[in-house]
Amino acid sequence: MTLKNKLGITDSAELAKAEERISKIKALELFEKGLLDTFETGTFQGLSQIHKYLFEDIYDFAGQIRTVNIAKACFRFAPVLYLEAALQNISRMPQSTFDEIIEKYVEMNVAHPFREGNGRSTRLWLDAILKKELKLVVDWSRVDKDDYLPAMGHSPVKDLEIKVLLKNALTDKIDDREVYMKGIDASYHYEGYDVYKTGRI
């Protein structure tokens, strides 16, 4: 079933293409307008601001906590009943070291607070924390999809794999437009969005 959207699109493949095009334009705007540096860092509020900006032209629920339970493959994300409390706890988690930041990222992924667009929003959120606290970001173009997805799948039980993977891809090019755009394309590739290249839409 196709998600209800502001574009009136009923075909899921068409919606995916429109969502990719529009939200990649918005993702680049976040960087070029310096908006990511104005959002709260490391809180659900900050993540909500990112999600709203990316998807507000597509979905009414942009930036809003989901009201349905969701799962991917056989993994169930945080139940709606406990979601708000979980997000408050995650927002309060420490974020002064690399390990703490990745642990916070793993918990936010388990929460999966939105109906759609969680991974793409949360990777931007992660980079914003790393940039503020450590003056580093992940060069996502160096993180292979076939390594990343299993590592994230294992992370709620054992997070060493995702920590090693992301640590090996850190860069101090925190304001590099090319690194950011390649990162957006890699982030979308993990989710199966490969039609458009950021900056060439």
Q: Could you read off the pLDDT of 63-75 as tens digits, one per residue?
A: 999 999 999 877 8
- For position 144, what pLDDT does the model report? 97
The pTM score is: 0.97
Evaluate whether 23 touches 54 at the Cβ level (below 8 Å): yes
Q: 145-175 pLDDT, tens per residue?
A: 999 999 999 999 999 999 999 999 999 999 9
Amino acid 98: pLDDT: 98
Cβ atoms within 10 Å of 28's Cβ, excluding its own: 17
pLDDT over 80 (residue 127): yes
**Domain 12-190, CATH class in plain words:** mainly alpha
Q: Whose structure tokens read 């299993």?
A: 150
| Nearest residue to 174 (alpha-carbon basis) of 128, 143, 142, 141 | 128
Domain boundaries, the chain: 12-190
Tell me the pLDDT of the chain averaged across its residues.
97
Q: Which amino acid is present at 159?
A: D
Q: What is the pLDDT of residue 1?
A: 77
pLDDT at 58: 98
Distance CA 77, CA 94 (A): 22
Identity at 90, one-letter amino acid code: I
Question: For 60, what's the count of Cα atoms within 13 Å in the CB-facing half-sphere?
Answer: 6
pLDDT at residue number 31: 97
Sequence-ordered list of residues with C-beta below 8 angstroms from that of 60, at least 6 positions apart, any chain = 4, 6
Whether residue 142 contacts residue 188, with contact meaning beta carbons closer than 8 Å, is answered with no
